[in-house]
Amino acid sequence: MLDASRVILGTYGQAYIDGVWQTHINKLEASVELEKRELKLVGNDWTVHKNGSKKGTGTISGYKVTSDMISRGFTKFDIISKLDDPESYGHERVRLIRCMPDKIQLANWTAGEEVQEETAFTFEGYELLDPITAD
């Protein structure tokens, strides 16, 4: 049976861009999509699949504190995502390699409200640095 205390809360997530902890970030999402090629072969009534290229996409968002994303422009950077809930089986770190913004938010504010900043990006590889494994 699932030990509920082992469920990881995003509260303990951290994001690092080129090694610098981004304390203002409150959401990070990244995924890899595999392009599968369909093949139809003689003598086989099943469609089979061959692995094609991979595409990494993600979004990082949080409160606007500095102009770092504007200053960075469209240069590539690495992101390290870290999850480290103290009740979990351990921590997980994933490195997103060669991230590049899809667009840069120059202005988006409303009087009396906190300014949020969201950046969609693509990446060209990933590395699982520290996996979480159940004991």
Q: Is residue 9 part of a domain?
A: no
Range of the domain at 75: 23-130
Q: Is residue 10 part of a domain?
A: no
Q: Is residue 18 part of a domain?
A: no
Q: Is residue 12 part of a domain?
A: no
Predicted pLDDT of residue 67: 93
Note down pLDDT in tens along the chain; length 135 residues.
877 878 877 788 899 999 999 999 999 999 999 999 999 999 999 999 999 999 999 999 999 999 999 999 999 999 999 998 877 777 889 999 999 999 999 999 999 999 999 999 999 999 999 988 876
Residues 88 and 108: their CA atoms lie apart, in Å, by 37
Query: How many Cβ atoms from other residues are within 10 Å of residue 23's Cβ?
Result: 11
Q: Is residue 7 part of a domain?
A: no
Predicted pLDDT of residue 84: 87
Q: Is residue 16 part of a domain?
A: no
Predicted pLDDT of residue 113: 95
Structure tokens at 30: 């990244």
How many domains, in total, are found in the chain?
A: 1
Q: Is residue 106 part of a domain?
A: yes
Q: Is residue 42 part of a domain?
A: yes
Query: How many Cβ atoms from other residues are within 10 Å of residue 96's Cβ?
Result: 25
Question: Residue 53: which H helix or E strand, with range?
Answer: strand 47-63
Whole-model pTM: value is 0.87
